[in-house]
Structure 1
Amino acid sequence: MNDENFDRNPDHMIKICHDYIDNSKLIEKCLKINRKNSKKSYEYRLKGNECYVRGLWNKCLYLYSQSLQYAPVSNDDSLPLAYGNRSAVNFQLERYELSILDIQMAIDNGYGNYKSETKLRNRQIECLLRLNRLDDARQISDMFGIEFSKPKIFDSTEKPIASSENEKIPEKIGLFSSKVCLSYDNHYGRYVRAGNNKSIESNELILIEHPYVHVLLPHFECKYCHHCCRQLSTIDQFECCSKCSIIAYCSNECRKNSWQQYHQYECSFLPFLWQFGIGHLVYCLMAKTDVDLILDIYQDSLNKSSKEIEQNLQPFLQPSSSTSKSTYHALFSLKTHQNQMNPVDIFFYRMTATLIIELLFRKNRYQTLKIKHLKQILIDVCFRHLCQTIFNSHTIMIPDSNDCSIPIATAFYPSLSLLNHSCDPNIQIIFKNGIECFIRSNRTIRSNEQIFNCYGINYRSADYKQRQQLLLDQYFFHCKCQICKNESKDFKL
C-alpha cells in the first residue's frame, strides 16, 4: 500500500501505531530504563557520608541529591534517609529553610520507621531558633517533649541557594511594548511594527515572553531544571521526580507544576521521546492542553478558512503565558505551510501525530472522555502542531564560556513567532531566568518600521544565494529584506 492510501486511511494508521507499541514492547522497554534503584541510592548516600565526615559540604549535598534521584518512593529506607542526611548538610551550609523542608520530607516519607526522629526534631528546632522563629520552635519542643536551652538571637539571613541572574519581570509579561502594533497584509501576513509616531530606541525592551511549552534537550537533563530550565550546580538543592531518575528540578514548586501539567504523561516514555525529535515538544503540548479547549478551538476552526485563522490578531493582544487559553489560541493560529510540504513529510507527520495520541491514550490522558471521533480529532490537531513546529518553534540558547551560545531546549513562543525574517534583524533575543525570552531592539526602529527577527540564516553566515536557497528549502519563501535587495542587484551584475 502506498503513502497516499495510508494518508486517506486514518484507521489504518491507528492500527499500525497500535501494533507498533504492542509488538515492540515500547512501554515495557521504557519502564526498564533509568527507573528508581535502591542500590544506586545507597551507594550515593555512602559516598555522601564520607564527604560529610570530611566537611566537603557542597560535594556532599550533590551526592545526597543523587541518592534522592534514585531512591524509590515507598517500602524502602532510601528516600527518607537521603532527605534526612541532606537536611544535615543544609544545616551546615546555614540554609535553614531548606534544612527544614528536607526534615519534613524525611518524616513524611517514613523516617521514623527506620531511625529515631529525635535527631531530626532537634535539628528542626535548631533551624527554627536560628531563623528566630521561637514560637514555632517551642511548639515542636512541646509536641515531642524535647527540651532546648534559652535561645540566642541569631542573624536570620540565609546564605543564597544559588547564584543566578534573575531580572525582575514586569507585570505585563507576554504583552508587546505599548510602542508596538500588530498588523496584517497579504504579502507579510501578520507582522509586528513600531507604532504610529512611536520610534523604538536602541536596546529598548519590546517583549518578554514565557513559552507555552518547552522541552529540554536530552543531554542537558539533570544539568538544568526540567521545568524552568534554570541551570543547576553542585550547590543547588535540586528536587527529583518520584517515578524516574533521569530529570531534576530546581525546586519543589517546579517539580509539582511539571507533574501536574505534563510530566505525568511523559515520565514513562522519556527514553523514547528523547529519540522523537520535534515529536517530544508536541507530545508535551498535547498532554498539557485542556482537551475542552482543544475541541472548542478546533470546532471553531472548521468554520473558517486558513486565511481567516491566520489573519486573527486578537489572541496576541492578551498576555501570553504557559497556561492561558488565549496563548494556546494564538499558537493554534500560527501558519502551518501544509500546502507547501511534500507528501512524504506529510505522511511522516501524520504517522507521528497518530503515535503521539495513541501513547497519550495509553497514559489515560483521554480515556474517560466519551466524545465521538475524539481520537481522530486529536490526531488532526496534533498533526497541525507538528507542521507548525517546523516553522514556529524556537531554540532556547544560553551563553557558554567561549562567548558562544549553545542550544539547551526547544519551545513554542507564539508572540515571538509573529516576527518575520530579515537577514539583518533589528532585534536581539536573550534568554534569562531559565526560559524567559527577552526581546530588545538592537538599533533605533523608526515609526511604522517592521520589527524583524532572524530565522538563523543571516548575511554574516551565508552569501545571498545560499541564504535564499536555505530559506526557500526550510521556510518556503524568498527573502526580500533590504540587505537581500541590495545584494541581489550585485548578484545579477
Structure 2
Amino acid sequence: MMEPIDAFYRLCECLKTDNKVEEVSKMFSSFERDSNRVSFVMELLRQYNILTLPLCRKDKKSDTIAAEYRMQGNRAYQQKDDRKALSLYNRGIAFSPVVQLADTEGDSNELSLGFANRSAVAFSLGDSASCLKDIDLAFKYRYPANLHYKLLERKGKCFLRMNRFEDAFETFTGALKALELASLPAEKCQSVKKQIIELQGKTESRNAATEKPYLFSLQQKLPRKTYQESNEIVCACDAVEIKYSQDMGRYIQASKNLNPGCITGESFWKVYKIATYNCHNLFIFLSIFKSQFFLEDKMCGNHRMTGDVIAIERPYASVLLDNAYYTHCYNCLLRCNALIPCETCSMVMFCSDKCRNEGLEKSHSVDCSILAPLTRYGIDKMGMLAVRIILTAAAYGKKLNELISEIRSFEMETSADKRTKGFSKDGKYHSDEYTTIYHLVGNTDKRTVGDLFKRAVNAACILHCFEEYSDFFNPENASSNKQLPDSGKNKGSEGHQSPQDFQKEAKLIVGGLLLRHLQNLPCNAHEVSEFIHISAVTQNKEKFDLDMIEIGAAAYSFLSLINHSCDPNVVRNSHCGSTAVLRVIKPIKKGEQVFDNYGYHYATHSLEERQLHLSSQYFFRCMCEPCTGNWPLYVSLPSAQLLLKCTHCSAMLEDNFPTNPSEGNLVTCTMCKGVNDVVKRKKVLMESSDRFMENISAVLRGHTEGVATSLVTHLTLLHENVLRPWKEYNDCQEALKQCFNFLGNCYTI
C-alpha cells in the first residue's frame, strides 16, 4: 500500500528550496479570514504540483483481493481464532464485487462464499441471528447448489439452538433434499445424511441443542433525563444552564442540586440536611436514604440506578474511525457480526440494508468516492469529522446554496451577547443545528502561524478531494442556486450570481469552513466509545477484562460548552452508537459548575503532563483543586489514615482521634466550633467500606444490578465526610462509572 502524501512536509520542503519560507509566512500571517488562508495555500500546492501526485485506489473491488482475505480467514478459523477470522472475512466481503441478482446463472462468486464462510464463525461464536442472516445472504448471491446442504444444516442447528423446532425440522428436511445435489463420495454422503437425521430427531423430541448461549450483547436503550426538559437547551434538563464569564467563556452551571444516584437531587439534599443536622443521626440518614432510593428506583423502571442524567445529546455529525470499518456500521456506529458491504467501495460496511440505504442517501453518496483520496492525503479523524460536518450542513451538496446564505448571515451578526452565540431565532440552543457547531471556539488568535498553515494545507487537500473526486460542487447543484442573491460581487444580468460565480464562491467559503472546523474540533470534538467486557475461564479460574475503546469521533455542541477539571463531576457514555449520555458522578450543589474531563485525569497523569497537554491543545491553564493542590497520582493516593471533615463547614477536623475519655467521642471543629462524633462516623464509613469491597468483584463480572445503589451510598458518604484526596473515593467512583459503562455501548463476550 502506498504511503500517505504528507502535503505539508512536501510544501515546506519546496518553499525551503526556493528560499520562500519567510516571504510566504509573512504573507500568510497577513490574512484574517480562513477562506483566504486556504485559497492562498491551495495556489501554492498547485504551483508545486503537490496535489497531482498519483493516488492509490485501495477502495476498488477485486475478486483477487477478496479471495486472499477469505483464505486468510479460513486459516484463522481452522486455528480457532474466531475474532481474527471474522475480521478477515469482513474484509473479503467488502472487497467482493457485488453480483447482479438478475443474473441467476453462472458460477459462484466471492461474495456468496464470503457470507457462507462467515456464517460458520457466527455459529461458532453462538450468534445464531448473524449466522442466519449470513446464510440467507449467501443464498441470495448464488451460493453453489452442490454446497447448499452445508448451509441448510447449519441453519437448522441455529433454529434448534433457538428452540424454533418447527423451523429446524423443515430446514433439516431441505438439507436432506439438497444433499442429493452434493457431489460427495457415497460413504461421506451417508455419514452426513445420518447426522442430519439425528438432528431432525431432536426437533421432534423438543431436545434443545446444548451449545453455549451467545454472550455477545449490545445495550441499545437510552435512559431518561432525570429532570424536566430545559426551556433553553434542547438536549438537556432544566437542572443545568449556560453561563458566561470573561475568564471562562461559556460554561455549564447546575441550577439544582445534583447527585450520582437515581434519587432526585432535591430529595437527596433535603433528606441529607435533615438527617445530618445532628451528627448522631447518620444512621437515620442511611435508612431514609435507602428507602428513598428504593422508592425512586421503582419509579425509574428499567432505567434505575443510572445516576442523575442531565443531558442526552445526539451529535450534529459523527464519523467511524478507520480501524472500526470492518467491525462496526459506518452509518449508525454499532458493532455488528454480520456486516454488509457498500456496493461501490471496499472501505466501509453497514449493519443492514436500511443503514446502507440511509448512509448512501446521506454522507456516503459523497464520501464514497473521496474516502480513499482523503486517506492518501493522511487526513486524520478531525479532518474526517470536518468533512462530515460540511456534508451535513450542506445536505450532502443538495443545499449548498442554503449553507452559503447561512454563512453570510453569520458574518453579518452584530449581537454582543456572547452567552447566546449559536442560539436559534426561537431563543434555544439546538444541537442538531449547524449554527451551534459553527460558533464553537477555535482559538485562532492563540495559534502560531505554523499551526494555522498546516491546518490550512489539510483544509486545501480536503477541498481538492471535494473538487476532483466528488460531485459536491456539481454545476447542476450550482445552477439550482441562480435565484440566490449575490453577495455584492459578480452579479449576473438579473442581479443574481451565475452558477459559475456561485460555484467559485462556494469553494472559497467551504475551504474556509473546513479550516474553521480543523481549528475548533480539536478543542471541542468528543470520542465515541465502546465498553469491552470479556469473561473467560483459564486454568479453572475466571478471568475478567474491562476496556474502553474509541470507535469514532463526534461533534456535540452542548458537551463542548462544559469546562474541564482533572477531577470531574460528570461522565459521558456513548449509547446506541453515537448518542452521548451525561451523568453525575459526585454531588454537585446548585450554583456549582459542571466539569467534564478532557482526557487528562489527576489520578493517571502528572501535574506537569496535564498542564502541558491542556495548554497545547486547549490553550488554558487548569486551576482545579487537584492542580492547585498538586494531588498525587493514584498509586500514591492516601489510603491508610482517614481524615474526616466537619459535618457543619466541611473543614478538616484537626483532632480526628479523640483520646480524652471525659470528652467521649466528640470533636469540636476549630473553624466553626461545630461538634462532631468522629467515632460513630468512622464506624459507619468502615461498615460501608466493607460492603463496597464486596461489590467490586461483582462489577468486574458485569453483575451491576443492586450494586450501583450501594456504590452511590458509599460514594456520597465519602464525599460528605472524608477529606480528599482519598484512594477509596477514586475506587468507588470508578466502580460506579463501570456500572454506567454497562448501560451504554457495551460489548460483552
TM-score range, shorter chain: 0.7 to 0.9
2:423 paired residue number: 314
Retained in 2: the 8 A contact 1:239–1:250?
yes
User: In the alignment, which of 552, 555, 562 is matched to residue 409 of structure 1?
Assistant: 552
The SS at the match of 1:378 is: helix
Q: Deviations for 1:442-477, whole angstroms, at most 9, x for unmatched residues?
A: 2111112110112233444233x6655543333223
**Match of 2:27, as an amino acid?**
N
1:449 paired residue number: 592
CA change 1:286–1:123 in 2 (3 A) is: farther
2:111 paired residue number: 79
CA distance, structure 2, for counterparts of residue 85 and residue 224 of structure 1: 19
Structure 1 residue 301, shift from structure 2 partner: 0.7
Q: State whether structure 2 residue 328 is matched by structure 1 residue 299.
A: no
CA change 1:305–1:357 in 2 (3 A) is: farther
**Match of 1:211, as an amino acid?**
P
1:15 paired residue number: 43
1:30 paired residue number: 56
Matches within 5 A, 1:283-362: 283-289=387-393, 290=395, 291=397, 292=399, 294-305=403-414, 308=417, 311-312=420-421, 314=423, 317=428, 320=431, 324=432, 326=433, 328-362=434-468
Q: State whether structure 2 residue 233 is matched by structure 1 residue 190.
A: no
Q: Deviations for 1:389-413, whole angstroms, at most 9, x for unmatched residues?
A: 1211123455567656444433222
Structure 1 residue 419, shift from structure 2 partner: 0.3
CA distance, structure 1, for counterparts of residue 127 and residue 545 of structure 2: 33
**Match of 2:448, as an amino acid?**
N
Q: Deviations for 1:5-29, whole angstroms, at most 9, x for unmatched residues?
A: 355575443334456465212xxx2
1:179 paired residue number: 239
Q: Percent identity?
A: 24
1:210 paired residue number: 314
Matches within 5 A, 1:220-259: 220-231=324-335, 236-259=337-360
Q: Deviations for 1:294-353, whole angstroms, at most 9, x for unmatched residues?
A: 324312211125865663363595664xxx3x2x32211211211222222222222322
Structure 1 residue 374, shift from structure 2 partner: 0.9
Q: Which of 309-318 and 343-352 deviates more? A: 309-318
The SS at the match of 1:2 is: helix
CA distance, structure 2, for counterparts of residue 458 and residue 66 of structure 1: 37
Structure 1 residue 417, shift from structure 2 partner: 0.5
Q: Which of 371-380 and 199-208 deviates more? A: 199-208
CA distance, structure 1, for counterparts of residue 620 and residue 73 of structure 2: 57
1:381 paired residue number: 513
**Match of 1:450, as an amino acid?**
Q
Q: Which is bigger in relative contact order (C-alpha 8 A, separation at least 6)?
A: 1
Retained in 2: the 8 A contact 1:17–1:358?
no
CA change 1:452–1:90 in 2 (3 A) is: closer
Q: Deviations for 1:242-296, whole angstroms, at most 9, x for unmatched residues?
A: 3343444444444444443333414333532655453222123223332535324
CA distance, structure 1, for counterparts of residue 510 and residue 88 of structure 2: 43
**Match of 1:364, as an amino acid?**
D
User: In the alignment, which of 364, 375, 387 is matched to residue 263 of structure 1?
Assistant: 364
Q: State whether structure 2 residue 614 is matched by structure 1 residue 471.
A: yes
1:146 paired residue number: none
Retained in 2: the 8 A contact 1:310–1:333?
no
CA change 1:307–1:406 in 2 (3 A) is: farther
Instruction: Let me know the Cα RMSD of the aligned residues.
Output: 4.7
**Match of 2:515, as an amino acid?**
F
CA distance, structure 1, for counterparts of residue 331 and residue 74 of structure 2: 30
Retained in 2: the 8 A contact 1:227–1:249?
yes
**Match of 1:182, as an amino acid?**
I
2:217 paired residue number: 164
Q: State whether structure 2 residue 454 is matched by structure 1 residue 394.
A: no
**Match of 1:314, as an amino acid?**
F
Structure 1 residue 169, shift from structure 2 partner: 0.7
CA distance, structure 2, for counterparts of residue 93 and residue 454 of structure 1: 37
2:582 paired residue number: 439
Q: Which of 125-134 and 301-310 deviates more? A: 125-134
CA distance, structure 2, for counterparts of residue 403 and residue 105 of structure 1: 34
Retained in 1: the 8 A contact 2:310–2:582?
yes
Structure 1 residue 388, shift from structure 2 partner: 0.4
CA distance, structure 1, for counterparts of residue 567 and residue 72 of structure 2: 53
Structure 1 residue 119, shift from structure 2 partner: 7.2
CA distance, structure 1, for counterparts of residue 380 and residue 80 of structure 2: 43
Structure 1 residue 359, shift from structure 2 partner: 1.0
CA change 1:133–1:58 in 2 (3 A) is: farther
Retained in 2: the 8 A contact 1:244–1:267?
no
The SS at the match of 2:363 is: helix
What are the ranges of 5 or more consecutive residues in structure 2 without an aligned counterpart?
A: 1-22, 101-107, 175-199, 262-306, 482-501, 533-543, 632-749
CA distance, structure 2, for counterparts of residue 457 and residue 472 of structure 1: 12
**Match of 1:78, as an amino acid?**
E
User: In the alignment, which of 357, 366, 372 is matched to residue 473 of structure 2?
Assistant: 366
CA distance, structure 2, for counterparts of residue 47 and residue 91 of structure 1: 19
CA distance, structure 1, for counterparts of residue 459 and residue 419 of structure 2: 22
The SS at the match of 2:56 is: helix
Q: Which of 276-285 and 12-21 deviates more? A: 12-21
Retained in 2: the 8 A contact 1:287–1:360?
no
State how many pairs are aligned. Answer: 466
Retained in 2: the 8 A contact 1:199–1:446?
yes
Q: Deviations for 1:135-161, whole angstroms, at most 9, x for unmatched residues?
A: xx9xxx9xxxxxxx9x9898999x987
CA distance, structure 2, for counterparts of residue 419 and residue 53 of structure 1: 50
Matches within 5 A, 1:108-119: 109=141, 111=142
Q: Which of 79-88 and 93-102 deviates more? A: 93-102
User: In the alignment, which of 444, 449, 462 is matched to residue 606 of structure 2?
Assistant: 462
Q: TM-score, normalised by structure 1?
A: 0.74
Structure 1 residue 216, shift from structure 2 partner: 3.9
**Match of 2:43, as an amino acid?**
K
Structure 1 residue 38, shift from structure 2 partner: 1.0
Larger radius of gyration: 2
CA change 1:78–1:441 in 2 (3 A) is: same
The SS at the match of 1:30 is: coil
